[in-house]
Amino acid sequence: DAMVIQNPRYQVTQFGKPVTLSCSQTLNHNVMYWYQQKSSQAPKLLFHYYDKDFNNEADTPDNFQSRRPNTSFCFLDIRSPGLGDAAMYLCATSRAPQVNQPQHFGDGTRLSIL
Amino acid sequence: QKEVEQNSGPLSVPEGAIASLNCTYSDRVSQSFFWYRQYSGKSPELIMSIYSNGDKEDGRFTAQLNKASQYVSLLIRDSQPSDSATYLCAVLYTGTASKLTFGTGTRLQVTL
């Protein structure tokens, strides 16, 4: 059974039209992450939540926001998508910010911008 | 700037051979190291983790860590066509609240 679930798998939106990507987890992990991955590039961390504490990466554009209403769910909001935001968006979870805890990824959402 | 370096490949090995994937990292105080496999269009899948110097074996996979040389590798024995994928090395840097830094990955092709 999938433990980190991302919806939808594929999302198409128009330039400038807000879009929300969803992630849920059944692992009861307290840390949730959002990554952006473009073709042939490493996943790039956008932000993460440690419980309810939000941690934004310094170079994450203001266009990207996140919400975590409870332990199980986390959302990525892109307020005004540009063509450069077309990418795979990966959600991951880990048990805690401890040195030996791996991150577990969902299947990703591939975002296309028209 | 903490960095993780991998040869992008492609690394081509014949079926049944040993594939050797290498990774170097810049921060000496790093403590945790992970190898993820990523098929084209799919998300990364954790295949190995290693935390102390030496070798760690799991089935056909062996991870090797040398902290003095800041080097981590992944060996895949008896390579199969289904092993063809991109392998991402990831390093957890101490004091960064469990944030992983990924290399750009090595693309492995196992040929028949």
Answer whether A90 sits within 8 Å of B49, measured CB to CB: no
Residue A98 has pLDDT above 90, yes or no: no
A·B CB contacts under 8 A? 63
CA distance B104 to B88: 7
Answer whether A42 sits within 8 Å of B31, measured CB to CB: no
Q: In terms of Cα–Cα distance, which of B48, B43, B44, B46 is closest to B59?
A: B48
CA distance B13 to A17: 45
Please give the pLDDT value at position B20.
Answer: 97
Nearest to B98 among A94, A106, A107 (CB): A94
Kindly list the residues from chain A whose CB atom is less than 8 angstroms away from the CB atom of residue B92: 99
Q: Extract the tokens encoding A54.
A: 């939000």
pLDDT digit string (tens) for A53-66? 999 999 999 999 99
Please give the pLDDT value at position A18.
Answer: 96
Answer whether B34 sits within 8 Å of A104, measured CB to CB: no
Answer whether B43 sits within 8 Å of A88, measured CB to CB: yes
Q: Which residue of B has its CA nearest to A54?
A: B97
Residue B97 has pLDDT above 90, yes or no: no
Nearest to A102 among B42, B46, B94 (CB): B46
Hey, which bits of chain A come out as E strands? 4-7, 10-13, 19-25, 31-37, 44-50, 53-56, 64-67, 73-78, 87-94, 104-105, 109-113
pLDDT digit string (tens) for B10-53? 999 999 999 999 999 998 777 789 999 999 989 999 999 999 99
Kindly list the residues from chain A whose CB atom is less than 8 angstroms away from the CB atom of residue B95: none
Please give the pLDDT value at position A97.
Answer: 64
CA distance B109 to A32: 32
Q: Extract the tokens encoding B31.
A: 């403590």
pLDDT-derived band at B1 (thresholds 50, 70, 90) equals low
% chain A with pLDDT above 90: 83
pLDDT digit string (tens) for B59-90? 999 999 999 999 999 999 999 999 999 999 99
